Amino acid sequence: MKKDPLQRRLEISNWIILGLFASVSFVFMSNKFCLGILLGGLISIVNFHWLYRGLRNVFKQLTGGAKSTIMFKYYIRFAFTAVVLYFIISKAMVDVIALIIGLSIVVINIIFTTIVTLTRNNALRRLV
């Protein structure tokens, strides 16, 4: 099954934004800060991809138990993420603010993509 162009663009943009944030933090901030951005970004991107795959599989089947399946997978993903974050924070491996910034990469990307898409659509309407 071919991915939606918007989904593909979001996935590529996630990696670009993570690369930019990590590069800037590597140059101007401490190693703990950079590692926080990297780990937070990786966690958020993996969760985004995991959610996409789960939803795609559920909508392919569309059985009566689809809701319970997606909720079960959601709780598994949530528990796994909580354990990973607990380990990272409890071992003081990273700067917590950087970790939060990294975890926000997907949200930042979705907001940015929405603004760009709406701006582009409004500009096209004005031309027509």
Domain extents in the chain: 7-123
> What is the rounded distance in angstroms from the CA atom of residue 10 to the CA atom of residue 48?
10
CA atoms within 13 A on the CB side of 120: 6
Read off the pLDDT of residues 53-94 as tens digits, 9 standing for 90 and up. 877 777 777 666 666 777 787 888 889 999 999 998 888 888
The model carries a pTM of 0.80
